[in-house]
């Protein structure tokens, strides 16, 4: 059974979003977790592998959710646009 964790950086990046966008992102994360549990991820998530265990999916064209998938644990790491995710990854991977 998969376990889901939310990092401190994920919480901080979620807090800085406008209220409507925050709700939309929370719904997408919930939908993603349900899809993972069921074992069927719709193509609309735009799931993409970035590194060995780093992945991202899109909540819309501008907002990406970055997460780490290790065996039975998915840890949500960050929310942001393309540039913000790239900047986060530079610090995270160094």
DSSP string computed for 34-84: HHHHHT---GGG--EE-SSSEEEEESSSS-EEEEEEETTEEEEEEEE-HHH
Tell me the per-residue pLDDT of 14-36, one tens digit each, with 9 for 90 and over.
Answer: 999 999 999 999 999 999 999 99
Confidence of residue 43 (pLDDT cuts 50, 70, 90): confident
Architecture, CATH, for domain 3-93:
2-Layer Sandwich (3.30)
Half-sphere exposure of 73 (CA within 13 A, CB side): 7
Candidate from 14-18, 37-41, 47-51, 68-72 with smallest mean pLDDT: 37-41
Question: Rounded to the nearest 10 degrees, what angle do helices 19-38 and 8-15 cross at?
Answer: 140
Averaged pLDDT score across all residues of the chain: 92
């Amino acid at each position: 059974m998969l376990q889901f964790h939310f990092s401190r950086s994920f919480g901080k990046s979620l807090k800085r979003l406008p209220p409507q966008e925050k709700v939309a992102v929370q719904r997408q994360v919930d939908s993603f977790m349900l899809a993972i549990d069921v074992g069927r991820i719709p193509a609309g998530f735009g799931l993409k592998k970035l590194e060995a265990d780093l992945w991202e999916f899109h909540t819309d064209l501008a907002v990406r959710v970055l997460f780490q998938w290790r065996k039975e644990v998915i840890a949500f790491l960050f929310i942001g646009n393309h540039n913000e995710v790239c900047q986060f990854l530079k610090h995270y991977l160094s």
